[in-house]
Every structure is written in C-alpha cells, then in structure tokens.
Amino acid sequence: MDIALAARRRHSCKAFDGERKIPPALFAQLRELLRWSPSSTNSQPWHFVVAATLGGKARVAESAHGLFAYNAPKILNASHVVVLCARRDMEPEYLDALLAQEQADGRFDSEEARTRQAQVRGFYVGHQRSAGKLDAWMDKQVYLALGGLLLGAGALDIDACPMEGFDPGAFDRILDLTGTGFASTVIATAGYRAADDEYASATKVRFA
C-alpha cells in the first residue's frame, strides 16, 4: 500500500451515493482505527457515535439546520456517519479506570512504571486544567482520531468528509449527551462518491 498515494487520492466528498453502503468488514476496520488512535499520555478522551441506519442518520442531520442545512444531504446520503465526541473533564475516577485498564493489559513491568505513568498523565491533565485549556487539549486528541479515520478511509477506497458545520448543542440534546461527560466535536461522513460529486475530479492543491 502506497500510503502517500492514498493521501493524494482521497478528497473531502461533498456528494454521496445514497445507494452504496460500506461493507461491514471494511467499516469494522475503520472502527478499529478509531479505537487504536494515538492520544496524549494515552488519555483516550473520546466517544464515537456511529449512525448507519436511515433513522440514525436523520437524527444526526437534525443538527445540520439553519446556516448548516447544506450539510444535511451529506449526512443522509452517506453510508455511515461518525460523530466524534470529546470528554469535558478528566475526573480522578476516569484516570483511575484508565490506569487500571493499562495494568490489566500488561502495560507496566513494575509498580514504578505504573506510578510514573499516573504521575505523568496527572501532570498534563493538571497543567491543562490550570491553564484553562483542558477542553481544547482533549479536543486535539479527538482530531488525531479524525485524521487517522480520514486517511484510513482513503486507503480502503472509501470516501469521507470531515465537517464542523453542525449545531453541537442541538446534537448533544438530540442524543442526550448532556450529563454523560461528553460533547460532540466534529462529524465524519463516510461512503462512496456520487456521480455528480463535482469535487471528485477537481485538482488538489497543496503548498510544496
């Protein structure tokens, strides 16, 4: 696989073929890409909501209204829609649970290594919180996952499009995220380009 070729070949699809669906085995690979995304200090401050049914996509599309109405067709016609959500805090209980999972998975070869991991992650969380940037820091980790998803989709010949053009507050109410500790951050639609996707044949432009 020429990964650079996949990066050049992919584009942010603006029109999806509503009749074509991503095969389950291929989308399972994209789900694994999300799960194994890198994050600062392995903090994993995310939750991914996937909509693949017409009803599920319609609920997501409700958040693309008003100034963002142009994005609703992309959501409805895509095969799958992934809403990437970020944590709004890193409570001690979450940090303890994460450390316990790392311990259970054999990440540490000594108690010293376990303690060091807890201290390093605690330092970064505390630093970002005291600087008033904890939300932004966690959002950045979610965008790392988004980047992997987009490149992975391109490598599998799946079209995808990232979008911030939706009402996060409306979406959080639609899926009742309020009170869960998460908030929607960005959406990625995935599927296959429609014949009338004018951007598919447009020249890609990048600085040298």
Instruction: Please list the residues that pair with 189 across neighbouring strands.
Output: 81, 161
C-alpha span between 86 and 23 (Å, rounded): 27
**Cα-flanking dihedrals φ and ψ of residue 81, to 5°?**
-125, 130
Residue 152: name the closest of 37, 17, 19, 14 by CA: 37
C-alpha span between 87 and 138 (Å, rounded): 7
| Residue matched to tokens 């409306």 | 170
Query: Does 164 qualify as catalytic in the annotation?
Result: yes
C-alpha span between 70 and 165 (Å, rounded): 9
Q: Strand locations in 37-142, DSSP E?
A: 46-51, 80-87
Residues 153 and 179: beta-carbon distance below 8 Å: no
- The catalytic position among 74, 93, 111, 133 is 74
- The catalytic position among 32, 91, 164, 204 is 164
Q: Which residues are identified as catalytic?
A: 14, 74, 164
